[in-house]
Amino acid sequence: MFDFLFNISQLTDFMGTGFRLSIPIAFAALGGVLSERAGVYNIGLEGCVLSGAFGGAVGAVITGTPWGGVVFALLFAGMAGVVLATLSVLMRVNQIVAGIAINILMLGFTSYFARVFFPDGTASQNISGFKTFEIPLLSKIPILGQPLFNQDILFYSIYLLVPMAWWVMYRTPWGLQIRAIGEYPRAADTAGISVLKTRFVVVVISCALAGLGGAYIVLSQVFVFTENMSAGKGFVALAALILGRWNPIGALMAAVFFGFADALQLRMQFSSPDVPYQFFAMLPYVASILALIVFAGKVKPPAALGLDFIRSGK
């Protein structure tokens, strides 16, 4: 069952699949890290991934280029983010309720508008996706070269965005503000930071990032949009960010772990046809739950996570 680990070409193939499957989760988890560090649960990541996937399909079809898909994905997921931020930050709807509402709304909207835009289903979608290109020299590294450095632009961008997010969060005043708001919003407010404005902006960025994850599924992996195609990736991302201890780099590593778990179950489905495929299909979700159990209690979420902020003394 595991003999592919000792065959170089099969191993690089497997690792390539693992890294690619981790990308949507990584985008969503990075978005989730940002919003939760600012103290806002983003249960709506799943809906944002889905709206990003839909935006990716619509944009690529309308403009004829995958870049149009990226723009629409950012736009649609960003709009979902505006709704989520309005509800959970400004109107102080319970953050979990608001997130669930966004998921149900985006599932309904994408299903309906997909039928309107693509009346003949996947057949009428002519989606031009991103092409892979090799990064000179690096792609020649044995084993790791091809899986990591012969990919497309969205793949590389997560490996640029994560260090950037880390740098913004830990090395810039704005990052300090975000973290302060997530830990002790009253103190941040006293220091003159607008808690609501910052949270609003961060939630919108968070959803837009998750939308890029959805765009990656459509523009780099499957090249069609289907109903509810996010299939729980946004929820796995929520587990990944806890596992990654609310740190962008940790979240990326956790996403890679889940991507590899997914790649492993896909490979095992083919290599062990005598074992019912359902057991492999549930593996990524079981892995997420087990990871939460193992790491629970050892990690501390941002102190003000899930609490709404009211400026008192008015």
Partner 1 sequence: MIKVIEFAFRLRTIWAVFLALFVGGIMIAAAGHNPFTAYGALFHGAFIDYYGLGATLVKMSPILLAGLAVIIPLRAGLFNIGGEGQIYMGALCSTGVALYVTGLPDLAHFALVIVAGCIGGGLWALIPAILKAYRGINEVIVTILMNYVAINLVSYFVSGPMMQEGAPYPYSPEIDDHLFLSWIMPGTDVHTGIIMGLLLSFTFWFILKYSSVGIGWSTVGHNPVAAKYAGINVKRQILISMFVGGAVAGLAGTIEVIGLKYRLFHLFSPGYGYDGIVVAFLAGLNPIFLPFATLFLSGLKAGANVMQRAIGLESTIIEAIQGLVIIFTAASLALKFNKPFWERFLNRKEAPSTVKGDSKNV
91 near partner 1, judged by CB under 8 A: yes
Between 107 and 222, whose beta carbon lies closer to partner 1?
Answer: 107
Between 97 and 143, whose beta carbon lies closer to partner 1?
Answer: 97
Q: How far is the CB of 297 from partner 1 (least distance, A)?
A: 6
Return d(Cα 101, Cα 105) in angstroms, integer.
6
**Stretch touching partner 1 by CB under 8 A, among 18-26, 49-57, 88-96, 194-202:** 88-96
> Site residues for partner 1, window 231-290 (CB under 8 A)?
232, 235-236, 238-239, 242, 276, 278-279, 281-282, 285-286, 288-289
Q: Which of 297, 312, 313, 314 binds partner 1 (CB under 8 A)?
A: 297
Per-residue binding string, partner 1, 7-46, x by CB under 8 A, is ------------------------------------x---
98 near partner 1, judged by CB under 8 A: yes
Q: Record the tokens describing residue 164, joined without a space.
A: 């950037």
122 near partner 1, judged by CB under 8 A: no
Q: How far is the CB of 282 from partner 1 (least distance, A)?
A: 4
Q: Which amino acid is at 113?
A: F
115 near partner 1, judged by CB under 8 A: yes
**Stretch touching partner 1 by CB under 8 A, among 8-16, 61-69, 83-91, 155-163:** 83-91
Return d(Cα 212, Cα 74) in angstroms, integer.
7
62 near partner 1, judged by CB under 8 A: no
First vs last C-alpha separation in the chain: 66
64 near partner 1, judged by CB under 8 A: no
Q: How many residues bind partner 1 (CB under 8 A)?
A: 43
Q: How far is the CB of 313 from partner 1 (least distance, A)?
A: 17
Q: How far is the CB of 21 from partner 1 (least distance, A)?
A: 16
Q: Can you give the binding site for partner 1, defined by CB under 8 A?
A: 43, 83, 87, 91-94, 96-98, 100-102, 104-109, 111-113, 115-116, 232, 235-236, 238-239, 242, 276, 278-279, 281-282, 285-286, 288-289, 292-293, 296-297
